[in-house]
């Protein structure tokens, strides 16, 4: 059985002090949900403050991005060697990175390979915009993102990835996809594509999250779907009680409480 994974993407929110306070508020509740993997992804500046707070717990730490070179003249970037040993996960290819910072399937692929080479577990984001959704291009577009992002990876490497399906039109809008709809996209666009690229065993092993206006009041519906293994949570991860509730309700929906 795939272990469910709930990750909180704090985006460009919280000061260092606020990040520490938020982690301290949510830790007791998160530690009680032991059968779901829990990850918090604060801004880069807070990683070294949050890391010691999570030591001795099962709650994992993730970064929100990385650059693919180990070092060099890349002002403002953070390398995989800087994250190595500091956190366990890294979000790669979030739609906001693609939309505002020009990330492509090719650069996502470079980042995935760099993360894996330095012992970091990628959470790879894919998803269509509203125009693509309405034009019936969802499956073909996400399939192309999967093919480009995973190019050159072995089946073993792919089995260790987490993929987050985030319909762009549902991120931060309050408009979530339907659970059935998300499950269908994950089956047809993500697992089916991986099965064609590799094999059915690899496709069945990959954990796939849903992301996009995830809240305590809709998480159980998503987690009750067979192809959905977790959530990449945005705004709701900035409120300790909501994020803890999402983790707890996810465990219950999967029969793990």
Query: How far is Cα 222 from Cα 242, in angstroms, rounded to an integer?
Result: 16
* Annotation marks residue 25 as catalytic: no
DSSP letter string over the chain? -PPPEEEEE--S---HHHHHHHHHHHHHHHHT-TTSEEEEE--GGGHHHHHHHHTTSS-EEEES---SSSSSS-TT---HHHHBTTBSEEEES-HHHHHHH---HHHHHHHHHHHHHTTPEEEEEE---HHHHHTT-HHHHHHHHHHHHTTT--HHHHHT-EEEE--GGGTTSS-PPPHHHHHHHIIIIIIHHHHHHS-HHHHHHSEEEE-SS--TTTHHHHHTSTT--EEEESGGGGSHHHHHHHHHHHHHHTT--
Selecting among 94, 96, 103, 227, the annotated active-site residue is: 94
In DSSP terms, 6 is beta-bridged to 38, 231
* Annotation marks residue 166 as catalytic: yes
| CA dist 58 → 27, 43, 51, 166 (Å) | 10, 20, 12, 26
Selecting among 37, 128, 166, 227, the annotated active-site residue is: 166
Any idea which residues carry the catalytic annotation? 94, 166
């Amino acid at each position: 059985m795939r272990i469910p994974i709930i990750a909180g993407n704090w985006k460009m929110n919280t000061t260092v002090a606020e990040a520490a306070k938020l982690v301290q508020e949510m830790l007791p509740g998160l530690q009680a949900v032991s059968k779901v993997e829990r990850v918090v992804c604060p801004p880069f500046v807070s990683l070294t403050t949050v890391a010691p707070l999570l030591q001795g717990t099962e709650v994992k730490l993730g970064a929100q991005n990385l650059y693919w070179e180990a070092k060099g003249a890349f002002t403002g970037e953070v390398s995989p060697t800087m994250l190595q040993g500091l956190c366990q996960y890294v979000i790669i290819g979030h739609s906001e990175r693609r939309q505002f910072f020009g990330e492509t399937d090719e650069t996502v692929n470079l980042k995935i390979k760099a993360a894996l080479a330095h012992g970091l577990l990628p959470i790879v984001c894919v998803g269509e915009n509203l125009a693509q959704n309405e034009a019936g291009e969802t499956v073909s577009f996400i399939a192309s993102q999967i093919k480009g992002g995973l190019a050159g990876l072995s089946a073993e490497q792919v089995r260790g990835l987490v993929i987050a399906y985030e319909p762009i039109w549902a991120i931060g809008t309050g408009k979530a996809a339907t659970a059935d709809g998300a499950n269908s996209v994950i089956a047809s666009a993500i697992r089916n594509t991986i099965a064609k690229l590799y094999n059915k065993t690899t496709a069945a092993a990959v954990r796939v999250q849903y992301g996009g206006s995830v809240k305590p009041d809709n998480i159980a519906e998503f987690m009750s779907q067979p192809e959905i293994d977790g959530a990449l949570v945005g705004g709701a991860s900035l409120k300790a009680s909501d994020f803890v509730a999402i983790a707890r309700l996810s465990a219950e929906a999967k029969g793990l409480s």
